[in-house]
Amino acid sequence: MLETNSRTEPRQGVRLSLGVAGLGNAGNAVWRDLDKVLGVELVAVADVRALALETFQKQNGMVRTYDSVTSMCGSEKVDAVWVATPTEFHAEHVISALERGKHVICEKPMALSLDDCDRMIEAAEKNKLILLIHSKAVDPPIVKMREVIASGELGRVIQINTWSYKGWLRSARLASEVDSAKGGGVLFRQGPHQVDIVRALGGRRVRSVRATTGKWHPRFDTEGNFTAFLEFENGTPATLVFNGYGFFDTSDLTWGIGEGGYQASRQENRQGDPQTPVEESLRYSMPLRAEARRRMGERKQPIYGLTLVSCEKGDMRQSPDGVYLYTRDGCREIPCPAFLDRAEALLKLVEAVAERRPVATDGRWGKATLEVLLAILQSSREGREITLAHQVRSVV
The secondary structure of 141-193 as a DSSP string is: HHHHHHHHHHHTTT-SEEEEEEEEE--GGGS---GGGG-GGGT-HHHHHTHHH
Quickly state the pLDDT bin for 268 (edges 50, 70, 90). low
Single-letter amino acid, residue 194: Q
Whether residue 364 is predicted with pLDDT greater than 70 in this model: the reply is yes
Q: CA triplet 367, 369, 370: central angle to 5 degrees?
A: 65
Parallel, antiparallel or unpaired: strands 131-133 and 103-106: parallel
**How is 209-234 classified by DSSP, letter by letter?**
EEEEEE---SS--S--EEEEEEEETT
Q: Please state, in angstroms and as integers, the Cα–Cα distance from residue 360 to each residue in 29, 82, 357, 389, following that order.
A: 22, 17, 10, 19
Burial class (CB in 10 A: 0-12, 13-18, 19+), 267: exposed
Which of the pair, 262 or 359, is modelled with greater confidence? 359
CA of residue 187 relative to chain centroid, distance? 13
Determine the length of the chain: 396
Q: What is the pLDDT of residues 151-189, one digit of tens each?
A: 999 999 999 999 999 999 988 888 889 999 999 999 999
Within 13 Å, how many C-alpha atoms sit on residue 300's CB side? Answer: 20
CA–CA gap between residue 60 and residue 27 (Å, rounded): 14
- pLDDT of residue 118 exceeding 60: yes
**Residue 36 has what pLDDT?**
86
Average pLDDT across the chain, whole number: 91
Report the relative pairing of strands 237-243 and 306-311 from DSSP bridges: unpaired
CA 18 from centre of chain: 19
Whole-angstrom distance, CA of residue 8 vs CA of residue 6: 7
Q: Please enumerate in sequence order all residues whose Cβ is within 8 A of that of 59, keeping only pairs 6 or more positions apart, or say none.
A: none
Where does the pLDDT of residue 391 fall: very low under 50, low under 70, confident under 90, or very high at 90 and above?
Answer: very high
Mean pLDDT confidence for 34-42: 89
Count other Cβ atoms within 10 Å, centred on residue 171.
18
For 210-231, the pLDDT digits (tens) are 999 999 998 899 999 999 999 9
Per-residue pLDDT band for 284 (boundaries 50, 70, 90) equals low
Task: State residue 158 phi and psi, 5-degree precision.
Answer: -110, -20
Q: Phi and psi for 277 in degrees, rounded to 5?
A: -60, 150
Q: How confident is the model at residue 274 (pLDDT cuts 50, 70, 90)?
A: low
User: 234 near 204, Cβ under 8 Å?
Assistant: yes
Separation between Cα atoms, residue 79 and residue 4, nearest integer Å: 13
Average pLDDT over every residue of 258-265? 83
Mapped onto helix, strand or coil, the DSSP state of residue 61 is coil
Burial of 26 (0-12, 13-18, 19+ CB in 10 A): middle
| Cα(331)–Cα(376) distance, integer angstroms | 35
- Structural domains in the chain plus CATH codes: 3-136+342-361 (3.40.50.720), 137-339+372-387 (3.30.360.10)
Model pLDDT for residues 180-214, shown as the tens digit of each residue: 999 999 999 999 999 999 999 999 999 999 999 99
How far is residue 46's CA from residue 28's CA, in Å, rounded to a whole number? 11
pLDDT of 283 reads: 54
| 103, 121, 146, 150, 203 from 352: Cα distances, Å | 10, 17, 21, 23, 22
Reported as a single tens digit per residue, the pLDDT across 41-89 is 999 999 999 999 999 999 998 999 999 999 999 999 999 999 999 999 9
183 and 106 Cβ atoms separated by less than 8 Å:
no
Q: How confident is the model at residue 285 (pLDDT cuts 50, 70, 90)?
A: very low
**pTM for this prediction:** 0.92
